[in-house]
Amino acid sequence: MTATDTRRTAGDISALADFGIEVPSWAYGNSGTRFKVFATAGVPRDPYEKIEDAAQVHRVTGAAPRVSLHIPWDRVDDFGKLAAFAADQGVSLGAINSNVFQDDDYKLGSLTNADPKIRAKAVAHHIECIDVMRATGSKDLKLWLPDGTNYAGQDSIRARQDRLADSLQKIYAELDDDHRLLIEYKFFEPYFYTTDIPDWGTSLLHCLALGEKAQVVLDTGHHAPGTNIEFIVAQLIRQGRLGAFDFNSRFYADDDLIVGSADPFQLFRIMHEIVRAGAHLPDSGVNFMLDQCHNIEPKIPGQIRSIMNVQEATAKALLVDGDALEAAQQSGDVLGAHAVLMDGYNTDVRPLLAELRESQGRDADPIGAFARSGYLERIERERVGGIQASWGA
Ligand code: AOS
Ligand code: ZN
Ligand code: ZN
């Protein structure tokens, strides 16, 4: 520990006071794998109850002000009413996620399908999502495209890209001026030979062709093992096209585990790139979201822990001495530069975060505060017959 470390105060991480992380509605329902969906007592029975749960995460952290919705999972008759309900709960509705992965028509593709009628149906679904955005006040339409092929020769790789470009243009044309189309990539799954948007390069090329309202979503779980994700972050920031994160952790593939649990150092390295570029500031345009499922752990505390993990990584990144780092980098001091970075990482930021929370009038311990609130016991008592959130049989 250096002499500077001893002088660190909550003031050094004050930028975190305005740093919000969006939570996914699907994190609160029952979930599992294709082998088994586990039932949890008290899970939400409708989108309103998902929002109530999400609001608890914001209540104790002060850092989860928005909830992403998923259509059709969160379809309701009156989205304006849902938005008003969210506001009453102290949160707002965030990105609207489309779904083109649960319909028989899409077996051979949705926006890329060789059949123009099926492509039109997939485009129409996104236009429905844009209407939902108008009702909820959401600004981001988020597209994760599951399309791909399983066998060499099954379809033309180039023709699929052409069809995709055409479908995306039709969707983009429907956006309002203050809307964005966020395009996610994922290297494989549910198809295993080609994926139509497998990587950031493909996503970025489509975004560049569409226009400035199209931006890339980086899901931390969607890369091949060993990929240097912070490099991608830096590159997308340079291009002004890093629209959003889907945070989660992975050991093997798209594991959707709690962010920062598998590799906290990687999360720190990512947040370091973010902080150096000022992309953590509220007007940066980067939407920091969680995309996780809590299969075996309690869901609301799982979300609270996730928010805290992102805050801890960001706090460490904020503590990196930028001037000292730059001086060492400029002078070619390899070990010196690395040491400055590691100083930030090796600082225990938990006391500073506790101090920051207390200065905001919150409990220093969000997990404890939630446990003491009695909310979990109440929903376990009151809610009977909760719904499945997302993946699983
Ligand atoms: C799927 O693998 C993606 O990570 C998604 O972002 C997906 O759209 C999300 O889990 C909700 O559908
Ligand atoms: Zn995702
Ligand atoms: Zn995923």
Per-residue pLDDT at 6: 55
Above 70 in pLDDT, residue 25? Answer: yes
74 lines ligand 1 (CB under 6 A): no
Give yes or no for residue 256 CB within 6 A of ligand 1.
no
Between the CA of 324 and the centroid of ligand 1 the distance, in Å, is: 39
pLDDT, mean of residues 35-58: 95
Is 186 a pocket residue for ligand 1 (Cβ < 6 Å)? yes
> Mean of the per-residue pLDDT values for the chain?
95
Summarize pLDDT for 123-167 with one digit per residue, the tens.
999 999 999 999 999 999 999 999 999 999 999 999 999 999 999
Domain residue extents for the chain: 18-319+363-382
Which amino acid is present at 144? W
Confidence band of 340 (pLDDT split at 50, 70, 90): very high
Residue nearest to atom 1 of ligand 1 (CA): 144
pLDDT for 384 equals 81
One-letter amino acid identity for 56?
A: Q
* pLDDT higher than 70, residue 272: yes
Q: Taking residues 189-200, what's their average pLDDT?
A: 98
Beta bridge partners of 22: 289
Q: What are the E-state strand segments in the chain?
A: 23-24, 31-32, 37-38, 66-70, 92-97, 140-144, 148-149, 180-184, 194-195, 214-219, 242-247, 287-290
Pairwise CA distance, residues 295 & 40, whole Å: 9
> Is CATH 3.90.1520.10 correct for 18-319+363-382?
no
**Predicted pLDDT of residue 158:** 98
* Residue pointed to by tokens 């059709």: 72
**Band (385; pLDDT cuts 50, 70, 90):** low
Task: Please compute the mean of the pLDDT values over residues 192-197 and round it to a whole number.
Answer: 98
Ligand 2 centre and the CA of 247: distance in Å?
Answer: 8
pLDDT at 65 over 60: yes
**pLDDT > 90: what percent of the chain?**
93
What burial class does residue 276 get, using C-beta atoms within 10 Å of its C-beta: 0-12 exposed, 13-18 middle, 19+ buried? middle
- Whether residue 245 is predicted with pLDDT greater than 90 in this model: the reply is yes
Question: Is the Cβ atom of 70 under 6 angstroms away from ligand 1?
Answer: yes
pLDDT of residue 10: 87
Under 8 Å between Cβ of 111 and 148: no
- Per the CB < 8 A criterion, the answer to whether 247 and 290 are in contact is yes
CA dihedral 218, 222, 226, 227 (to 10 degrees): -30
Residue 390's pLDDT is 53
User: What pLDDT sits at residue 391?
Assistant: 46
Ligand 2 centroid, distance to 344 Cα (angstroms):
28
**pLDDT for the residue numbered 304:** 98
Return the pLDDT at 386.
62
Q: Is 291 in the pocket of ligand 1 (CB under 6 A)?
A: yes
Q: Is the CB of 254 under 6 A from ligand 1?
A: yes
**Model confidence pLDDT, tens digit, residues 4-16:** 455 788 889 999 9
Task: Give the confidence band of 388 by pLDDT, cuts at 50, 70, 90.
Answer: low
For 301-324, the pLDDT digits (tens) are 999 999 999 999 999 999 999 999
Query: What's the average model confidence in pLDDT over 79-93?
Result: 98
Ligand 1 pocket test, candidate residues 97, 188, 255, most atoms within 8 A of CB: 97
The predicted pLDDT at position 95 comes to 98
